[in-house]
Amino acid sequence: DAGVIQSPRHEVTEMGQEVTLRCKPISGHNSLFWYRQTMMRGLELLIYFNNNVPIDDSGMPEDRFSAKMPNASFSTLKIQPSEPRDSAVYFCASSPPGQNNEKLFFGSGTQLSVL
């Protein structure tokens, strides 16, 4: 199994640009999470999908952030327009059905730098 795949691995962009982060969960998993990690704020839950439906998006910082899961094998996190304070590592994680999210599998993350 290839695990959770995130792309790009690194992204450097200028303030005001649109950024799209991508995630492919493990095949068969039906829960998908987006987390953001910074030194100051630690790991923050941005959004949680179950069966492709957003269940908890209370962690999405503001309207500049949006996430979609058009099918079970793909999710995107978009920031438009990006700001320097969005610089962080963004992680995607998935978990299998029937286990109440008892084990999350993480991707390698996307290191985002907004200049």
Partner 1 sequence: SQQGEEDPQALSIQEGENATMNCSYKTSINNLQWYRQNSGRGLVHLILIRSNEREKHSGRLRVTLDTSKKSSSLLITASRAADTASYFCYNNNDMRFGAGTRLTVKP
> What residues make contact with partner 1 under the rule CB under 8 A?
4, 33, 35, 42-43, 45, 48, 56, 91, 93, 100-109
CA 17 from chain centre, in angstroms, equals 18
- Closest contact distance (angstroms) between CB of 96 and partner 1 is 12
Token pair listed for 66: 């949006």
The nearest distance, CB 106 to partner 1, in angstroms, is: 3
Nearer to partner 1, 45 or 81 (CB): 45
Provide the minimum distance between the beta carbon of 84 and partner 1 in the complex, in angstroms, as a whole number: 21
CA distance 13 to 24: 22
| Nearer Cβ to partner 1 (71/100) | 100
CA nearest to 105, candidates 24, 7, 47, 20:
24
Give whichever of 35 and 65 is closer to partner 1, judged by the CB atom.
Answer: 35
Instruction: Give the nearest distance from C-beta 37 to partner 1 in angstroms.
Output: 9
